[in-house]
Amino acid sequence: MENLNILIVGVGGQGTLLASKFLGAAASLMGKDVKVSEVHGMSQRGGSVVTCVKMGDQVASPIIDLGEADIILSFEAVEALRWLPYMKPTGTIITNTQEINPMPVISGQAVYPEDVLGKMKKDGISMVAFDALSVAESCGTVKCVNIVLLGVLAALLPEIGEEIWKQALESVVPAKLLAVNEKAFQEGLALGKKKGETL
Amino acid sequence: MKKLLLGNEAIAQGAFEAGVHVVSSYPGTPSTEITENVAKYDGVYCEWAPNEKVALEVAIGASIAGARAMCCMKHVGLNVAADPLYTAAYTGVNGGLVIVVADDPGMHSSQNEQDTRFHALAAHVPVLEPSDSRECKELTEKAFEISEEFDTPVILRITTRVAHARSLVETGARKMIDKKPYKKDIMKYVMMPGMAKKRHVFVDQRMAKLEECANKMIHLENAGAKLGIITSGISYQYVKEVFKDAAILKLDMVHPLPAQAIREFASSVESLLVVEELEPFIENFVRQLGIAYVEGKKYFTNQGELSVSAIRKAYFGVDPDCATLSGDAGVSVTDAPARPPVMCPGCPHRGVFHVLSSMKLRVSGDIGCYTLGAMAPYQSIDACVCMGASVSMAHGMEKADKQCEAQSGKPNEDGLTGTVAVIGDSTFMHSGITGLIDIVYNKGASTVIILDNSITGMTGHQQNPTTGKTIRNEDTHPVNLVKLAEAVGVRRVRVEDPFDMKKFKAAVKEEIESGEPSVIIAQRPCALLKSVNYGAPVVINPDKCRKCGACMRLGCPAIFKDGDAYKIDHSLCVGCGLCQQMCAFGAIEKA
């Protein structure tokens, strides 16, 4: 397998860390070399956060640099735009359509650009965009947005089998929350398969 | 078996396998998870100390007693612990003593970019530097061995990208290490001038022997290539990706540096490059060896982190090939509004800073989530330097004002109503209390606001001496902040709720005007604590809303403007209701 670089971006508190753990666990269950780079500390407080997951036969740097991501998994619309330069020209964005206003927008010092995702897509960026928040809510909790997004990602990575995903999820989610997260993953997977066809 | 571990988890695992007996630390990003993970192992005594100096002294004591001991901190923590470090370098150890110091190039969560290698150079202690989680575990074990073999504390230096990256680690069983016999040895452990002079001789001899050790702790790759690169730590991983054909000399020990290995490597290549983050520590050493053709900081900045693309750009002038938007896209990457960190919805600090920003105060700040009080919309904090400094700086500001007023015979014309210090509960225990003693002792009149949110927030919820819980969540005696402030001589101590903003403002005003030292304990738990539940979110009733925008002034990330309407994002709102106090029309209601 070619090295696969997945950049997970979002807003602190959205569950990007758990998503990267989940993905890292799946890669290591496949017997791949894997490195995951996380962000802790101050930026976790509602700031723009990024986590890198790199897998392959041998991984050196744990960081996904400019132009290196095969896939950007974005939890928020404008974060997909912000991190775009980290994607390969041939890469794909999977993104939640949710918009969360950063403080400079709330305090009137900056503007949240309109229809970011639509404009990016129209300009030829390969993208799967959907309302992951609503899907997560329909599964029972807004907190499983991360797992819904991972489900969509799984649809694009058929080389990682369903059994691996299942085991990986069990290894990162507490037992009492497993059912709701499994549901969220399956919903995401089904959605990803459907969206993937129109990519 | 192989596990996907954070560098910090791997250090904890390495210490566990090395049979560590005692671990004492103070939390600090990016080092916190080491000690948090040590606490998960049975058979290791583990604690959060009030600060890094205490933590290191506990570890030194444990080592003298004969146990293997470890102490973990962030880079600036080593400044606090520098006092014991520099002399423990003289006493040496009995049981192995390892000090893990996490540097933060790029300042992901720090106030400066200091380079721990210079502390080690000045203190004469060896430094090991891992480049991934596997090495974190292995070099932690090795550090204990070196410590005991060479009779020295050993620093394990990591950086954020090593601490907070996960990679695969082969884990093993714990070695059951017996405590070393304790023998009274005044010449070795009592550092008075007569003894210390002898130990200084030992220290210099030890560094020479350690250099032999450093010469063995190297990895040579692609020998015979024309370009040779000397590197260590995370930079090694970047070098592996950028310079696929270069010869690499990777150093596991970065102080003392292996002169012999470097000389041999330098003479085997046509050009020599040092790739290291922050200061030219290795490069300077190579140059001191008389190897004048070495290059390094000529290309690479000492500011921030290196990366694969930064190294490529600096050395080869090559830009990466990135996904881009065309000029016709109607949006560009630079249109993404900045998203700095913010106080969380429900954060108890929000009430404090909304009040302070309305009072024309000079606010002496400190290290914690509440440093965000310097950001819009509060822009309340005037200065932030280091742990505990808020209290002593406020005293300095107040004394400066008074002294200069007395000298000029005129009141200051800075338009301020007064000065307050704001400091978190954990930071106050760390080193705020000494500042408060100074205020009382030297007849100051500052007002200190202790933001008591019942936890150490910024680093991710660690217990501290005020919370009544140990690192393992066992019940313990909590320090009573009211009694503590009273005990040092503060007569005006009061507990206030920062979410009752009207009353809180009156309290601040009263204490500033009191003309004597005062402490206000702003008590309300961190909104991220599981025990905090404000119930349903609040909503803005559009029929009652007059669109005045007053609620927005709180700077709550859950409140936003949609067209000309104000709304609350129910996925972010925790229902704390602080914004209800902002609305004069009662438009904000519980959902």
CB contact under 8 A, A41 and B29: yes
CA distance A108 to A114: 15
Residue B340 lies inside a defined structural domain of this protein: no
Q: What residue of A is the nearest CA neighbor of B461? A: A41
**Of B215, B243, B269, which residue constitutes the final position of a domain?**
B215
- Domain of residue B408, residue span: 349-523
- The enclosing H or E element of A47 equals none
CB contact under 8 A, A88 and B33: no
**Of B470, B488, B523, which residue constitutes the final position of a domain?**
B523
Rg, chain B, Cα only: 27
CB contact under 8 A, B343 and A106: no
Banded model confidence at residue A40, pLDDT cuts 50, 70, 90 = confident
Q: What residue of B is the nearest CA neighbor of A86? A: B322
Q: Are B367 and B423 in contact (CB under 8 A)?
A: no
What total of structural domains would you count in chain B? 4
CB contact under 8 A, A43 and B108: yes
* Nearest CA-CA partner of B554 in B358, B292, B311: B358
Q: H/E/C letters for each residue in A53-114?
A: EEEECCCCCCCCCCCCEEEEEECCHHHHHHCHHHEEEEEEEEEECCCCCCHHHHCCCCCCCC
Q: What is the pLDDT of residues B501-542, one digit of tens each?
A: 999 999 999 999 999 999 999 999 999 999 999 999 999 999
* Nearest CA-CA partner of B287 in B277, B278, B298: B298
Same domain, residue pair B474 and B548: no
| CB-count exposure of residue B192 (10 Å: 0-12, 13-18, 19+) | exposed
What DSSP designation does B256 have?
S
What DSSP designation does A29 have?
H
pLDDT at A199: 47
Same domain, residue pair B196 and B225: no
CA angle B27, B32, B36 (to 5 degrees): 105
pLDDT at B116: 98
| CATH code, domain with B290 | 3.40.50.920
Find where tokens 């969509």 sit: A152
| CATH code, domain with B12 | 3.40.50.970
Percent of chain B with pLDDT over 90: 94
CA distance B193 to B217: 35
Banded model confidence at residue A12, pLDDT cuts 50, 70, 90 = confident
Residue B343 lies inside a defined structural domain of this protein: no
Question: What is the average pLDDT value for chain B, to the nearest integer?
Answer: 96
**Of B498, B523, B548, which residue constitutes the final position of a domain?**
B523
- The enclosing H or E element of B137 equals helix B133-150
A-chain residues within 8 Å CB-CB of B309? 65-67
Residue B33 Cα, gap to closest chain A Cα (Å): 10
Give the tokens for residue B322.
């990135």
Q: What is the mean pLDDT of residues B369-391?
A: 95
Q: What is the pLDDT of residues B217-248, one digit of tens each?
A: 999 999 999 999 999 999 999 999 999 999 99
B-chain residues within 8 Å CB-CB of A98? 571
Residue A196 pLDDT more than 80? no
Q: What is the pLDDT of residues A161-170, one digit of tens each?
A: 999 999 999 9
Find where tokens 């106050």 sit: B428
Most confident range (mean pLDDT) of B105-109, B115-119, B456-460 is B115-119
Instruction: Mutate one of A9, A14, A61 to test the B interface: name it (highest B CB count within 10 A).
Output: A61
Residue B324 lies inside a defined structural domain of this protein: no
- Which member of B6, B30, B377 has the closest CB to residue A107? B377
Percent of chain B with pLDDT over 70: 100
Q: What is the mean pLDDT of residues A71-100?
A: 97
Residue A158 Cα, gap to closest chain B Cα (Å): 22
pLDDT at B209: 98
Residue B469 lies inside a defined structural domain of this protein: yes
Residue A163 Cα, gap to closest chain B Cα (Å): 19
Q: Are A46 and B341 in contact (CB under 8 A)?
A: yes
Q: Are B99 and B59 in contact (CB under 8 A)?
A: yes
Q: What is the mean pLDDT of residues B15-31?
A: 97
SS3 call for A172: helix
Same domain, residue pair B240 and B182: no
CB contact under 8 A, B376 and A104: yes
- The amino acid occupying position A168 is A
Domains located in chain A, CATH noted: 4-197 (3.40.920.10)
* Nearest CA-CA partner of B583 in B563, B556, B553, B561: B553
A-chain residues within 8 Å CB-CB of B234? 61-62
B-chain residues within 8 Å CB-CB of A66? 309, 320, 322
- CB count within 10 Å of CB B201 equals 9
- Which member of A61, A79, A103 has the closest CB to residue B557? A103
Residue B239 lies inside a defined structural domain of this protein: yes
* Nearest CA-CA partner of B451 in B527, B544, B502: B527
CA distance A141 to B589: 23
Residue B533 lies inside a defined structural domain of this protein: no
CB contact under 8 A, A82 and B238: no
Residue B376 pLDDT more than 90? no
Q: What residue of B is the nearest CA neighbor of A91? A: B323
- The enclosing H or E element of A165 equals helix A162-172
- Which member of A35, A61, A87 has the closest CB to residue B322? A87
Residue B65 lies inside a defined structural domain of this protein: yes
A-chain residues within 8 Å CB-CB of B30? 40-41
B-chain residues within 8 Å CB-CB of A62? 132, 161, 165-167, 234, 237
SS3 call for B332: coil
Residue B560 pLDDT more than 70? yes
CB contact under 8 A, B557 and A120: no
Same domain, residue pair B578 and B550: yes
Q: What is the mean pLDDT of residues A123-152?
A: 93
Touching check for A31 and chain B: CB below 8 Å? Answer: no
CB contact under 8 A, A88 and B330: no
Residue B70 lies inside a defined structural domain of this protein: yes
Cα B585 to Cα A150, B121, B394, B551, B557: the distances in Å are 43, 64, 38, 11, 21
B-chain residues within 8 Å CB-CB of A106? 552, 555-557, 559-561
Q: Which residues contact A180 (CB under 8 A, 6 or more apart)?
A: A139, A140, A141, A144
